[in-house]
Chains A and B, each alone.
Chain A
Amino acid sequence: MKSKRWLVAATGGILGLMAVILVQMGNPPNMGYCIACFLRDIAGGLGFHRAAPVQYVRPEILGLVLGAFIASRFTGEFRAIGGSSPFTRFALGFWAMIGMLVFLGCPVRLVLRLAGGDFNAGVGLLGLVAGVIVGVRFLKSGFSLGRAVPQKSANGYVFTGFVGLVLVLLLALPSLLFFSEKGPGAMHAPLLVSLVFGLIAGFLAQRSRLCMIGGIRDYIFFRDAHLLYGFAAVFALALAGNLTVGAFKVGFAGQPVAHVDGLWNFLGMTLAGWASVLLGGCPLRQLVAAAEGNTDSAVTIAGFVAGAAAAHNFGLAASPAGVPVAGQVAVILGLVIVLILSFANCPAAVKGGVAVGKGS
């Protein structure tokens, strides 16, 4: 088990270092790696929303999925499975994304922002932990989205097939895609570097089961710090990297691709953390699980992408200027909907002790 812990820490550390390098090579500041932002950019690149500054098919994400797919095939862990309340997962993914785009980042970017000295991310972290605590309470009360069942193996390849197709478009037919001319979407490291770094991250994340939400969740739940080592390693290495290249700036105001509205930084990440616990993992983990053949996670990714498109089509997403009123309403609505889904998927009467074999 010690070697596993080392692997989680190494994965986190390499992810943190790669993020700093990606920023040096062109990615937006404190955004070397961000699953939420990059899925949002991909939604834009495919034209699902038309927010001009955030359109770019991020090779980091495509590489991550392909890397995790290769690792899972290589180790025989690839397995087509699904059927655990797929559309509820879609909805949870949708609302989690709204929360993350109000905060401006997924749990990975939250840590990267902290490592860049962005105190707003500290407020977001408190919100994330609060959301995880609420989600854990529901899990303790018996919340479950039910069992997934084995599927025909072809089903497990569909998600990675889509990702492969998007990569082919990016490499061979980029004229079909949208590319930002300015704004965060226009800031990116060279395609091949992003792709290779994505492959490495995906391969390692599959092997180590790195999960940012899982780290906080397992510590609160079981006092098990295993996955927190990954969380801490992302922070430590990104911090060291930022200090080395002079990208560390402490404070609340003037942080890159961030806003200073504490209430909404907090509540946005509460929504994201709560929904992610119910989903069984952070967006990074969902991408890896989808690549491993989990079609429920693939549906969750579709929910993320739909949420990202809605966030920009309806003007919900935050910007450095702050959080629009519509975005604030959307976060409250999201919290109410996640609350309803939390209760709806709890058993009517929950007993402690030996409750085995639920939801089959």
Chain B
Amino acid sequence: MEKEVDARGLLCPEPVLLTKQVLDAVPGGIVKVLVSNAAARENVSRLAENRGWRVEVSRQNEDFLLVLQK
């Protein structure tokens, strides 16, 4: 199961909130999160890691793509 969260252009805490809604809804799998700024990248990573998800970050043009796996 793969889900995507598009949190581009949103300021904290919205990217974390959107990601949390998805993480709460699925037991595991792959969740891809797109964010626009470094603070959102760190905050979403922290949320996911605290919940036992593995986080891989890559740049996608000017944005960041976070691939969360559990």
Give the interface of A toward B (CB within 8 A): 1, 4, 75, 77, 79, 81, 83-84, 139-140, 144, 146-150, 209, 211, 214, 217-218, 221-222, 224, 226, 279-281, 289, 292, 294, 296, 352-360
Contacts and interface: CB of A to CB of B under 8 A. Distances in A.
A222 B5 contact: no
Contacts of A289: 11
Contacts of A83: 9
- Looking at chain B's contact residues, the main secondary structure is helix
Contacts of A1: 45-46, 49
B46 to A, nearest CB: 6
Closest 5 pairs (CB-CB, A-B) = A147-B9, A280-B11, A148-B9, A209-B39, A357-B6
29 contacts: A1-B45, A1-B46, A4-B46, A75-B38, A79-B37, A79-B62, A81-B9, A81-B37, A84-B10, A144-B14, A146-B9, A147-B8, A150-B36, A150-B62, A222-B20, A226-B46, A280-B11, A280-B12, A281-B11, A289-B11, A292-B37, A294-B11, A352-B21, A354-B3, A354-B21, A354-B22, A356-B4, A356-B22, A357-B6
Contact of A81 (B3, B21, B25, B36): B36
Contacts of B43: 218
B13 A139 contact: yes
Interface size class of B (residues with CB under 8 A): 20 to 34
* Chain A, interface SS category: loop
A84 B11 contact: yes
Interface of B: 3-6, 8-14, 16-18, 20-22, 25, 36-39, 42-43, 45-47, 49-50, 62
Given A4-B42, A226-B46, A354 B36 contact: no
Contacts of B5: 356-357
B30 to A, nearest CB: 15
Contacts of B50: 224
A280 B7 CA distance: 14
A267 B17 CA distance: 27
A147 B9 CA distance: 5
A225 to B, nearest CB: 11
B41 to A, nearest CB: 10
Contacts of B38: 75, 77, 209
A150 B20 CA distance: 25
Contacts of A279: 11
B48 to A, nearest CB: 11
A360 B6 contact: yes
A147 B22 CA distance: 19
